Amino acid sequence: MIPAAIIFDFDGVIADSEVRANRTLAESLTAIGLPTTYEECLRDYCGHNWQETERRIVARLGRSLPTDFRAQHRARARERFAEGFSPVPGAPAFLDRLGTLPRAIASSSSPDYIAMSLDRFGLAHHFGGHVYSADGWDRGKPFPDIYLAAAKGLGVEPAQCLAIEDSPIGAAAAISAGMIVVGFCGAGHIVDRAAHGDMLRRVGVHHVALRFEEVAALA
């Protein structure tokens, strides 16, 4: 199928950010008395929006989070990301070669963070107003809502869209939306790419790509 549009997850697909993000979350949780490792954050929270992440943290913690937790965590994250982070290898070149093919971002991250990152990478012009965030939504990924919103915004039927996702949670959302889904294994947080690809296949992705050159063959 030649897609009528491509919808990208953001972290782990465009931004190579998951290592910093999950190490920072582990630090923030440990600081409030919930010892948490980087690996546990990747396993338990990766792909979810803040609302679902908070629900999961509270269930583990057994009490509400401190009222300033998210603000403190964001401040810590800003410090970590100010140290420098980059696009996923191959993502800028892939975007450059898409020409006029419609594309959007469908992410669990906050709109401000996505905008800051796109500006940092010099990639904002590729998406225009088609950046969709499930931050603040009660139903984030793995529900299909954010992918359906992105397809609607582009004016393209979901079945005509190719979605690119690195997390099982995100892949499940795109599959539920009725899209053709590429499970992407090219970001820095994925150490065992073969095992991660197998995990994404079990979720039901239609293709697995270890690098953007392989995605290009599908688009």
Q: Is 212 helix (H, G, I), strand (E, B) or coil?
A: helix
Q: Quick check: is 119 catalytic?
A: no
Strands 103-107 and 161-165: unpaired
Question: In Å, how far are 24, 73, 85 from 145, measured between CA atoms?
Answer: 27, 26, 29
Instruction: Read off φ and ψ for residue 127, nearest 5 degrees.
Output: -120, -20
CA-wise closest residue to 109 among 46, 151, 172, 61: 46
- CB 151, CB 171: distance < 8 Å: no
- Catalytic residue, from 9, 16, 145, 166: name it: 9
Q: Cα(91)–Cα(53) distance, rounded to whole angstroms?
A: 27
Burial status of residue 138 (CB atoms within 10 A of its CB: 0-12, 13-18, 19 or more)? exposed
Cβ count near 31 (within 10 Å): 15
Q: Cα(24)–Cα(144) distance, rounded to whole angstroms?
A: 27
Q: Quick check: is 11 catalytic?
A: yes
- Catalytic residue, from 11, 16, 145, 166: name it: 11
Question: In Å, how far are 62, 118, 157, 188 from 166, measured between CA atoms?
Answer: 30, 18, 22, 11
Largest CA distance in the chain: 50
Which residues are the active-site residues? 9, 11
